[in-house]
Structures are given as C-alpha cells and as structure tokens.
Amino acid sequence: MKLRKKSRLLPVIVRTITALAITGILGSAQMILPHEVNSKPPSTGWSQVPPIAGTNESPTVYRSGQVTDIDVSSLGTAVTTAWGGYFLGGFGFLPRSDTIPTGKTRSIARYPRNGNIAVIATGSRPSDAPDDWGLGLYYTANAGVSWDRALPAGYYSGGWLFEKVRWGSNGIVYAASNRGLYRSTDYGRPGSWFVVFGDTRAELPASDYSPSTDVLDIAVDPAWPDTVYMVTGDGRLLRSTANGRAGTWITNTLPLTRRDGSRFDPTMIWRGTRIAIPKLNPNRVHLMVASQAGLYGMFHSTNYGDGAWTADDLGNCGVWPIAFMSALAASPVNSNLLLAGGGNGRQACRSSDGGSTWSALGPGGVSIHADHRAIAFNSAGMAFIGGDGGIFSSTDQGVNWSSAGSLAMSAPTIKSFDVSAADPSYLYMATWDTGLWSSNGRSFWISTHQDTTDMEADPTNALRAWGSVGQVGSDRFATVNGGLNYDAINGNLPSEPFPGAVLRMNGRSSLFTNHLNAVYSTTVPQLPRPSGGIPVPNWIRFPSAATPDFSGIVAGLTVNRPLRNAPLVLYAWIYRAADHTLPNKLYVYNSSEAASTIGVVGWQPVSAEFPSLSQIVHLSTSADGQLAYATTEVNSILMSSDYGRHWSNVAGNTPADITDILIDPVDPTRIFVATRHGVYRSTTRGVWEAWSLGLPFVDGAGAYISQLRAVPDAGATYLYAGVKGRGIFRRITSDP
C-alpha cells in the first residue's frame, strides 16, 4: 500500500491562507467577544499543545474536524462540531462552548440582529451511547462566554432528541426533535419553550413514540419568517403561516410521481430528508427526500410546497443523504442556485436552474470532504459546506471551492496520537476521517488523507513514527522523515482484519506488530528515507519463526520501554472468540524468563484473576515491565506487580467509561486513566480523583479523552491527553 507523498507547506502560504480565512471566510471580527482565549489568566492544570489549527493535506486542501451545522445569519461565521463544541468565527475560529459539559453539538441558530444571542442543540451522530441524544438545548446571550441549559434531552427513555434549531421571526426560535416541535418566543431563554406540535407531556414513555410527531427537518421561509415548514416521520410536509403556533399547521400535498414516472410513496420519507426555500422566490419549495436506502428523489414545488411539484433531473448527481449526513440550501440572492450534500463518499451537487437539473460539483469541488452535514449561504450569496473535513466556501456560486477556513479551526477527531520522547515538538495524530496529522514544532499541521486508527512515535528518534491505516487499522505504515512521507510496511504480512493492526517499539532496534494469532517483529526502519521509500520489511514470528499460535486473535499489544539492563517485556491480549469465550486473555513475554516459560514457547499464558468473559481493552506497563495495569470491557482495573504472573482488582472508586490507562514512566506510583468525561489520577491504590482542571467542557466533565501519553520535557514529566474534537493537551504529572 502506497500512501500519498507529502510536501511541506511554506510559512508564507500559511500566512496568506490564514489572512484569507480571516477576511473572506470567517467574516468580520466585529462581534462582541468579552473574554478572548488569550485573556485567560495563567493557572495550573491542563493547557493545549500547539499547533492549535487545522491541517494542510496538500498545497490547496485543508482539513479540520466534523462540522455539523453552519450559521451565517449574523456577523461572522459560527459552526457546531460533532466533538469539539461551538466555534465562532472572527480572527480564526474560537471555541465558545467550554462552559457546557459536552463537546457533542449538532445544530445552531443565532439571532440575525445580534449574533451574540444563540441556541445550540447538543448531541451528534455517530458517537457513543448517550452522546447521540445530547444534553438538550443551551442558550447564550454573550457569544458563548456562558451558557444556560434551556431544555433537557432524554437518553433512550423516549425523551427528546433535538435534531435542529432554527431562528424564526423576531425572537422566535424553533427546535425540531424526535417527539415534536418546541418553540420559544423569547430568544430561546430557559423557561420560554413550549411544544407547538407533538407530545406535550413532560415525561415521554419510549413506547409512546409516534412517527407522526417525529420532526425530521424544519425550514423557515427567509422572505416571510412567520411561515415555517417541517417534515415528519410519517411522511408528511406541513406548513404554518402563523409563526408555528399550535393548531396552525396544515398538511401540504406531496409529489405524485418520481422522475422515472413511478408513484411517489410518502412512507419512504426517512431521516435525512431536507427542505429549502429561496428568499427571492419563496413560493418555490425544494425537497430532497431521503429513504433508508439513500436518495429517493429531488423535487421542487412552485406553490409553497402544496402541490405543483416537479421531479428534478439528477443528471450525474449522486448525492446520498443519510440520517446524520444530509444538507440542502438555496441561495438568498439567486433563486436558481441550490446546493445539496450527503454521505457515503459522494460529491456534493449543484443546480443552477432552480432545481430542474442537477450535477456533481466537478473539479472545482475536489477540496471538499466527501461527507456533508450542513450547507448555508450568507446574505451576499457566499456558499458554505460543512462536514467531516471541516468548513468549505465558494464565492462564485458554488463552482470553485476553498477549504482555507478549515485551517483556522482546531477540531480534530483524535482516535490516537503520540508525542516523541526524543523531541516533544514532534506530534503525530490519527484522526477520524481526516487522516494522519503530523507536526515538528511548526505553527501548522501536515496530513495524509488516509483514515488512521493507531499511532506511535519512536521514543529515540523524533523523525520516526508508525501506525495503522484504514477504518479498522488494517494496514501498517511508517514515516522516517517527520511525517513528510509515509510508506506501507505490511511487507510479507497481509492486511489485518478486525480488530486491526498495532505497531509497538521497545525503544531499541525492534518493531512489533500483531497478525491473527501471533506477534511478529522486524527491524526498525532506518534513516534517511531512500528515494524509493522505506524498504519492504520482513516480519517473523516473535521470538522465533517456530513460535506456535496463541489461543485466539491478538487484539492489542503493549511493549515496555526498557531501562538499561532491564528485560524486554511484551503483553499481548486476545480478542473475543466467535463463541464469546476467552480461553487465554493475556500472554506475557519476559526476555529474562523466556527459556523457562510454559505454553507457547517464550510466552506465559495468563487466564486467572480476570473477570469472566471480559476482554482486556487497554494495558500500560512501567518502564521495566514489572508493573502493569489493565482495563477490561466491564470497566474493571487490574494490576500486576510481577511481570503479569498474578493480577488483582484495584478498581476502587473506578471512574466510568474508561478509554485508556497509563503508568507514569518516572514515578510508577502515579496511575492515570482517560475517560469519556475527563482524566483521573490515582496515587493510592484503588482511589481515583478527578484530574481535569483546564480541560475543555467544564474542566473535562464533557471531554472525551481518546488516549494518554507521558513524555519528559525540560526536566519535568508531562501527561498528554488527546481530546476528541479539540486537540492535544498536557499537564505536569506532579501537579496537585
């Protein structure tokens, strides 16, 4: 597998692009922002590690995180992101929702006359369990400096899941949900929200869910904002011309036929269906109908959405709307211009004749990431598309697009990362859907366009790093020049099936990986990089070619980074078998005892003392390999102090939702765990304390920590944390 060759982005280009982003894409900086990031007083705790920006994927393509909605109705540009919260444009995109205990946000509505007043809907798909539902609606009157919870959301209990918020006339705001439509007539303030369509009970039993009150989309007429449209889960298009008041909703007549002449079936309408109305011709209503199988059709009405429908000619448009990737918008200055987007790797589409015909964006849209969640036009007709790669803009009616705005936003969806112990300015991040990001102390990132799932930096040489690419980490790769080039190093091994490949180094000359039921090793790639790339490696079973299979597929691998004269210790844990058994959950290799072990030659199988049928998820070892901590899928924490021979449960007041565990490499009495809600530390066995001061989302209460790393720097040891949607943060491990 050959990864795309990278080139450095010259600082002058970065300055030019940043200036473009500030003046042409992010909008005016006239918004009142009372407390800017750089005005915060210094304090102990966590601080973000630069570069605090997006990434350069190629000389003309830039990426950031997953943008879920865009609002350009007021000064500047504001966005919500799937993991990083609410960002406000001005001089760069500034995070503006750290006082909300979640980074999962899916929709935004700002008061057009004063963008400091805004309402956001929390939650986002896809994510993890309750994050899909979110915490409800939040209101701000000061540009996100502080937020108040306006309405709560439910978690798989039949409660509200808010899909979209939109501003109506004057102080009216709408919130579409799976159980009906809420409306505020007081700018979205808490206490001002009431149900105007749907179930009005405070408690909503899950068994009472009805598609007839499931609001899939809502659109406000931009010319006459007292007129509102919505689509419901039972296949209806409704309209109110009285600011959405209860009892004023009428059912419109839907299209009768599709483009191929077949009958239009309203029961095919599914989540992802979108409505758009052009401001200059509000009698035109456009409908992109999503079904469970993708796009059902594009239609436009010339009678305010009540009959007079025509099925659009899609041409070469292959847009594919799905539940959480779907967008449709009409230009406010050109009624013939529409844009549509979706998911499934399809290019966004454009119509320049009022929806009669559509076509894919073509060469001018190659910089746009293929997954689209939001489309918007500002009052001047400038177009924006937001999605899994960041934010993209066009000033020529959607013909040519720039991704420069993404460079100004730090919202990477981190899956794995590492910091070089040889030079902590070298950072490597594996991200969801935006590739591998690398930085060597510059003020910007460079990246590949590959999906990446695992990352490790060479602790002895900052120019080297390795990991796995693909959505499940199926292929191995490495760089030996600080991320400028990545080369495939599968060598004589095939692509790795689920659960994917990991690569680990012992701090010396060997590199280790998993393949099916065994561990393999090869020589660490050498510097400098040859002109033809890293030579194809030869992987052999470890510790010898004759080593037999383990009892199951290797799911993970941890290698100690030895002190001088310390043994080499490897821990390999097993993935759950097809019959859900785990015959031997863990194998341990200790170079000082390899000749005397039993079972697989050179490896000691460990089965006892682990929770029944519970798989190991994460494992950390001390520098000498003697001490190890492991977490399991049932959130247990176990410890061994004898090279993995015996284990004891040390969970104590274990934090929920553990995502990683790490032993301080200098002081092994300090143990850290990452969770979906911050970082915890233990200095007394079984006693865990919150250790998240300074992390986003209320001191980490809503921060999803993907991974932990520890690296010495300037005489101190720093703990690094990857915060999904926001970047890398660090804190001195000796902090109280």
- Specify if 556 maps to a domain: no
User: What are 477-480's contacts with CB under 8 Å, separation 24+?
Assistant: 477/1, 477/3, 477/450, 478/503, 478/525, 478/534, 479/438, 480/525, 480/526, 480/527, 480/528, 480/529, 480/534
| pLDDT surpassing 80 at residue 426 | yes
Residue 125 lies in domain: 11-407
H-helix or E-strand containing 717?
strand 716-723
Domain of 101, CATH number, reads 2.130.10.10
- Specify if 513 maps to a domain: no
- Specify if 130 maps to a domain: yes
- What are φ and ψ of residue 612, in 5° steps? -60, 130
Whether the model pTM is above 0.85: yes
- Please report which confidence band the pLDDT of residue 469 belongs to, taking 50, 70 and 90 as the band edges: confident
pLDDT at 15: 35
> Which pair of tokens denotes residue 736?
């109280």
- What are φ and ψ of residue 438, in 5° steps? -135, 145
pLDDT at 20: 38
| pLDDT surpassing 50 at residue 86 | yes
Cα 199 to chain centroid distance, Å, stands at: 32
- Specify if 287 maps to a domain: yes
Per DSSP, what are the bridge partners of residue 673?
661, 680
Q: What angle (nearest 5°) sits at the alpha carbon of residue 348, between those of residues 345 and 353? A: 155
DSSP per-residue letters across 304-318: TTSS-EEE-B-TT--
Report the range of poorest mean pLDDT among 89-93, 416-420, 618-622, 623-627.
89-93
- What are φ and ψ of residue 586, in 5° steps? -145, 140
H-helix or E-strand containing 406?
helix 404-407
- Please report which confidence band the pLDDT of residue 157 belongs to, taking 50, 70 and 90 as the band edges: low
- Specify if 164 maps to a domain: yes
pLDDT > 70 in the chain, percent: 90
Q: What is the mean pLDDT of residues 421-427?
A: 94
pLDDT at 514: 95
Q: Is the dihedral of CA 222, 228, 233, 234 positive or negative?
A: negative
pLDDT tens string 569-625: 999 999 877 666 777 789 999 988 864 443 445 788 887 677 777 889 999 999 999
- Specify if 606 maps to a domain: no
Q: What is the mean pLDDT of residues 347-364?
A: 96
- Specify if 484 maps to a domain: no
- Total domain count, the chain: 1
pLDDT at 58: 87
Average confidence score pLDDT of the chain: 88
Please give the single-letter amino acid code of residue 432: W
- Specify if 282 maps to a domain: yes
| pLDDT surpassing 50 at residue 21 | no
pLDDT at 74: 76
pLDDT tens string 265-308: 999 999 999 999 999 999 999 999 999 999 999 999 999 999 99
